[in-house]
Structure 1
Amino acid sequence: MSLPMTAEAAYGLDEVLPPIDWALAPEGTRAYRFAAPSGSLAAWDLGDPEGERVVMVPGITGSKEDFALLAPILAGQGYFVQSYDLPGQYESADAGPEGAEGWSYELFVDDMIAFLEAGSTPAHLLGFSFAGIVAQLVTVQRPELVRSLTLLATPPLTGQVFRGVRTLGWLARVPFLVRKHFVGGVMIWNVRTNFSKVTPERLAFANARLDHTRRESVDGIVGLMMTTPNLYQPLRDSAVPKLVVAGEHDLWRAKLYRRFAKRIGAAVAVYATGHSPCETTPHQLALDLVQLYRTSEKLSAR
């Protein structure tokens, strides 16, 4: 799949995205299991194994299928794209601890480091939403594994990140309403009721995926997002090229993402979409990713 050379062309392609069956992997994808510290994780890869490696990790209530439109575009540019389901989520539901306790940043960081170490490094790393927080920790702890860092719809705040959610952020000041089980329930309700107004094909897959995802893993991740670490300075000091990506209609306002990018020394891209640019504006996102990857290549060649 060729990549358009202009932002205008990418926008045009994103305007006419065809419906797809999200449960089916893109043509040419290899599905496999990865033995991670937390357990057996469902993973896939696409593209030329000799190409530069791109590792894309989904967020809470997500899965590798979130990149079904984006991955083929990057693979078409010669990149080797890999992804995996987080422990407790979808086809990795059996991995991770039992119950809502025991879910820690260390668990997710160890898995991500193990996955990166299992292939050629450094790799271009993309973390979607919660996985972006984990990717920041990995970049700070193991910068030699990361060629570039993309934070896709990653909460642009630290601490209790839900306080900045548009319209409903004030609920974060109500003790009962910020319990992780309650917030996890709201996230699941959002998917079940199609509050975000996704396509019928996407809604069918998202609901089927939730039937496999363990509820305690959702609650555990929500609890971690309520204690998001402040990594502004170490990320700003890092030589790893960085990109912050968000939708204009995301959960957090675009101005927060722009401020976040400035604080960590990252470029920023904001598209006219919601929380999932990888699903709704994949060509525009791919164009910016390839630009980031080529910049990192030039820096590494010096």
Structure 2
Amino acid sequence: MSGQLTPHGAERVELPGSEGPIAALRTRETGKATVLLVPGYTGSKEDFSPMLDEIAADGFRAIAIDLPGQFESPGPEDERSYLPEALGQVLAGLVGHLVAGGKPVLLLGHSYGGLVARAAVLAGAEIAGLTLMDSGPSALPDGPRRVALSVGEPLLREKGIAAAYRMRERMYEQFPSWVRLPVELKEFLRRRFVSSAPAGLLGMADGLRFEPDLVASLAEALGSVPSLVVAGEGDDAWSVASQQDMAERLDAPFAIVPNAAHSPNTENPKALLDILLPAWRSWL
């Protein structure tokens, strides 16, 4: 099975969080460092399933999480609690808990998770390296993804989360890549979406539409901490050019994942790992 249902050896655990327990997939203890993997909007820890065993085999402990309000992590009712700044505080607290275990933490944020990871650094998270993957310098630019957020908001508020997912599914049906997905994976994606907190979906959507450009502040906060920006060659959320510019402003290496769009972690995990693992090893 491909994508989020890829078999792996990680265990399902719950980690401490200021807004409640944080659901996670965690590989075995290893000697180098912990890699903390943060998913994007409507995502979950399972988005990293194709990568977990390979990360562990390279000597890192991988921990993939559901952010508060996502899938199996409970979250508050206040939509503002899901903006990057607020979630960044939660993530910084989790990083502190992991660092207290004695191993350095490398942080990777995908898409909206990249905005949250950035906010965690700005909140003082003590990381040993930062990877931003298919994430941008600020809010989503004009395009289909931003339009979908604006169209989906009133439907979610008025008709509920199941109706919002039906609209989302109808939109996906025009894409051959969606049509080809196995039935079991489509069912998982549906279950994950409707299990998420409506306030979380609404708050994160606001973050995606209105987050300011904080790249200069991030560069200052990182100081000598190494960073990396990675993008799928066909990313349709933030443009590849905007991500390359962000890397230059961070004085960070920039890498493109071939044969991938917005989610290299499920679309081409091998090529992605060929970029990530050498970089992470060099940081330590």
Scaled to the shorter chain, the TM-score interval is 0.7 to 0.9
For 2:252, which of 246, 249, 266 is the aligned residue? 266
Bigger Cα displacement from structure 2, 272-281 vs 247-256: 247-256
> In structure 2, what is the Cα distance between the partners aligned to 1:236 and 1:187?
37
Equivalent position SS for 2:200: helix
| Residues 180 and 222, structure 1, Cα contact 8 Å, conserved in 2 | no
Equivalent position SS for 1:68: helix
- Deviation string 1:39-59 (CA, Å, 9 cap, x unpaired) is 122112113343311100111
Equivalent position SS for 1:91: coil
> In structure 1, what is the Cα distance between the partners aligned to 2:111 and 2:248?
18
| Residues 4 and 50, structure 2, Cα contact 8 Å, conserved in 1 | no
> In structure 1, what is the Cα distance between the partners aligned to 2:119 and 2:81?
18
User: 2:202: which partner in 1?
Assistant: 219
| 1:110-189 superposed matches below 5 A | 110-120=89-99, 121-142=103-124, 145-154=126-135, 156-158=136-138, 161-165=139-143, 178=150, 181-182=153-154, 188=165, 189=167
| Residues 227 and 253, structure 2, Cα contact 8 Å, conserved in 1 | yes
Identity %: 26
Gaps of 5+ in 1: 1-18, 298-302
TM score, norm. by length of structure 2:
0.82
Per-residue deviation, 1:282: 0.9
| Residues 180 and 223, structure 1, Cα contact 8 Å, conserved in 2 | no
The letter of the residue matching 1:208 is: R
The letter of the residue matching 1:244 is: V
Per-residue deviation, 1:115: 1.3
Relative distance call for 1:101 and 1:192 in structure 2 (3 A) is: farther
> In structure 2, what is the Cα distance between the partners aligned to 1:59 and 1:21?
15
User: 1:289: which partner in 2?
Assistant: 276
The letter of the residue matching 2:111 is: S
User: 2:21: which partner in 1?
Assistant: 40
Q: Residue 248 in 1 paired to residue 233 in 2? A: yes
Per-residue deviation, 1:202: 3.4
Per-residue deviation, 1:209: 1.1
Equivalent position SS for 2:261: coil
Equivalent position SS for 1:270: strand
User: 1:57: which partner in 2?
Assistant: 38
| 1:17-36 superposed matches below 5 A | 19-20=1-2, 22-23=4-5, 26-27=8-9, 29-36=10-17
| Residues 88 and 96, structure 1, Cα contact 8 Å, conserved in 2 | yes
Relative distance call for 1:31 and 1:254 in structure 2 (3 A) is: same
Per-residue deviation, 1:187: 8.6
For 2:77, which of 91, 95, 98 is the aligned residue? 98
Q: Residue 205 in 1 paired to residue 188 in 2? A: yes
Relative distance call for 1:132 and 1:163 in structure 2 (3 A) is: same
User: 2:58: which partner in 1?
Assistant: 77
For 1:66, which of 39, 44, 47 is the aligned residue? 47
> In structure 2, what is the Cα distance between the partners aligned to 1:247 and 1:81?
21
| Residues 88 and 123, structure 2, Cα contact 8 Å, conserved in 1 | no
| Residues 3 and 47, structure 2, Cα contact 8 Å, conserved in 1 | no
The letter of the residue matching 1:140 is: L
- Deviation string 1:155-199 (CA, Å, 9 cap, x unpaired) is x242xx23344x677x59xxxx84781597999544565355242
| Residues 180 and 219, structure 1, Cα contact 8 Å, conserved in 2 | no
Per-residue deviation, 1:64: 0.4
> In structure 2, what is the Cα distance between the partners aligned to 1:187 and 1:249?
26
- Deviation string 1:109-158 (CA, Å, 9 cap, x unpaired) is 12211211122353110011111111112223325x1111111111x242
> In structure 1, what is the Cα distance between the partners aligned to 2:164 and 2:121?
27
Q: Over aligned residue pairs, what C-alpha RMSD do you find?
A: 2.8
> In structure 1, what is the Cα distance between the partners aligned to 2:155 and 2:75?
20
Gaps of 5+ in 2: none
Relative distance call for 1:234 and 1:279 in structure 2 (3 A) is: same
Equivalent position SS for 2:82: coil
> In structure 1, what is the Cα distance between the partners aligned to 2:43 and 2:58?
25
For 2:216, which of 223, 233, 239 is the aligned residue? 233
| Residues 234 and 261, structure 2, Cα contact 8 Å, conserved in 1 | yes
| Residues 55 and 126, structure 1, Cα contact 8 Å, conserved in 2 | yes
Residue-pair matches, total: 266
TM score, norm. by length of structure 1:
0.78
Relative distance call for 1:162 and 1:230 in structure 2 (3 A) is: closer
